[in-house]
Structure 1
């Protein structure tokens, strides 16, 4: 199958929270959708409503202080991002929007207010579904995380047309000009999403062909082709094989369709039974959709378990896999008596070298296979 298993670990550093940078995208999309829906009845104030409603679903984090780490992992992108929340949220917001603008000439009808609020809310959820994180559309009846993996959580080429469109809509004088520039921004961002699906499909075909050519037997339905940071040119493939996973990359700018796959052993046997049976580990297995692996890490930090769906950071040319940084990893005890309460402890990822890492990503996007 593969050469000797690669030894990898998750570097540990002081806690460095990842900022919610995708909030800019959510706010811009919300403003663009709101202006497209309400430009006649609300005018420029529609942009402000869009910013507010476009970020509303992510306010589920406000209850984090009352939840333990397991509860937070389950709660985020859960009920607040469900199909039912879209409808109920719009029903609750429509009367408020009508009341605030009751003196507008003319005020929005209930149908107009509801439709706009629903489209803003649902567009937020939709672009979350485009990412690899997982969005619980059917919560609380099902906790399955839906993800199409065609966009990275931050992609400037998707966000910039939206931002430019709403900024011009805010400053241009004539209503028609404001409407047209905003719709153009929406159209460009939507076209970029369409391109991402085409690019993803092509990359998935190449990965599947390379795996078959090399004789790797992939578990049925256990493969993910996902966008890499900030672009839709370089694609990442994660495939489950016997005993572990294969990770490979292909760029549209590569000279050919050859793909080098790195093998990451699952190493499930390293986890004590008490850990495997714990609520904390069950939550990690659920969240990662079973794409997890036990990593080689410093002994004092226990056994790191990483969610392999998220792109690792490989800092420096030719960096060995035991120095990769994983965005989502948790520490579990290497030994635990039966019945032990196992806590969920997230390992803060060390992105201190992310500048060099993104330089390597840029080189790999351009087809330089020596970068990764």
Structure 2
């Protein structure tokens, strides 16, 4: 999740655990601890792919954060023994452990069990979701106004947790909705990812990939019709095979679970993470290699610039979410003419 959300979650937990004793300083302590795991972004691992796939790695591993909690709690207890070591440990441990657990609900991928096992990505919540964050912020503001505001802080934690549970239920409902349509399209065995569209859990995007094609479906709870529009995107398996033995291509396949789009632009071969963003606005595209007369030449991966934000698409997303328009074509981020499909 975004840094504001993680800081609000950490502050809320600290306020609930030790707010009566520590006062407003509990919020600052919790907010700082809540953002601690994300400081790995300052590390340069050498290549764009390495930086992309190592983020949320060791700093989000339960195997690292559990013993680290013991050390940090001990240091805080020696610095400020107003509360017991056990209370400090509960405060630090809950904050550091809930940070990667919350991140695991997003699509990016969180290496909870680094250095073993693949990333965990449940895909049920967008990286920024106001309905999750606002209850936490409300509790923190109430605490700042009149500490310790225990009931309000606890209510904020409860509401945000219930909302997180709702995202799992909504995801399953949408999954059950799209599977029959994908089966009719011959994609019943395809890898499937179902995730919310930006900033909400009302409108969802389902992505199914096979060797030769990708199908995208946008559907939501406010749709007036149960009819689904399947938007097809061709894939280029020959390019995937061409770079399959490159270490950075293998790393991307592992990190994304195979949700990649390979393209050749001139002599350069690129790989795009199609999980993040939406078609036409995927933020992570990497140059892996270039073709030459003497064969494939691997490159130290470089990331292409992030596509510019299409502000004109935001009203369309709202109209699609509320059901005012029945179809939104992802390839062009536009509404098709009446009677036409994507």
Verify same fold: TM over 0.5. yes
Aligned to 2:188: 218
State how far apart, in whole Å, the 2-side matches of 1:342 and 1:334 are: 7
Deviating runs (4+, > 3 A) in structure 1? Answer: 270-273, 336-341
The one of 288, 291, 295 aligned to 1:335? 291
Please give the residue correspondences for 1:244-283 in structure 2 after superposition, counting only pairs within 5 Å.
Answer: 244-270=213-239, 273=242, 275-283=243-251
State how far apart, in whole Å, the 2-side matches of 1:305 and 1:71 are: 14
State how far apart, in whole Å, the 2-side matches of 1:227 and 1:139 are: 26
Q: Are 1:42 and 2:22 counterparts?
A: yes
State how far apart, in whole Å, the 2-side matches of 1:69 and 1:370 are: 35
Specify which structure has the bigger relative contact order, considering alpha-carbon pairs within 8 angstroms and separated by 6 or more residues. Answer: 1
TM-score, L = length of structure 1: 0.82
Aligned to 1:93: 72
Unaligned runs of 5+ in 2: 330-342
Q: Are 1:348 and 2:327 counterparts?
A: no
State how far apart, in whole Å, the 2-side matches of 1:241 and 1:63 are: 35
Q: Are 1:148 and 2:100 counterparts?
A: no
CA displacement 1:112-151 (0-9 Å, x = unmatched): 1111111001111111001011111111123x11011110
Please give the residue correspondences for 1:230-245 in structure 2 after superposition, counting only pairs within 5 Å.
Answer: 230-245=199-214
State how far apart, in whole Å, the 2-side matches of 1:295 and 1:141 are: 31
Unaligned runs of 5+ in 1: 1-20, 314-323
The one of 87, 105, 110 aligned to 1:130? 105
Of Structure 1 and Structure 2, the greater strand share is in 2
SS of alignment partner, residue 140 of structure 1:
coil
The 1:272–1:145 alpha-carbon spacing in structure 2 relative to 1, beyond 3 Å, is closer
State how far apart, in whole Å, the 2-side matches of 1:335 and 1:124 are: 42
CA RMSD between the two structures: 2.0
Aligned to 1:162: 136
State how far apart, in whole Å, the 2-side matches of 1:192 and 1:244 are: 34
Range with greater deviation from structure 2 (253-262 or 47-56): 253-262
Q: Is the 8 A contact 1:204 1:225 kept in 2?
A: yes
The one of 172, 196, 200 aligned to 1:201? 172
Deviation at 1:338, TM superposition (A): 4.9
State how far apart, in whole Å, the 2-side matches of 1:326 and 1:59 are: 24
TM-score, L = length of structure 2: 0.89
State how far apart, in whole Å, the 2-side matches of 1:352 and 1:228 are: 15
Q: Is the 8 A contact 1:219 1:240 kept in 2?
A: no
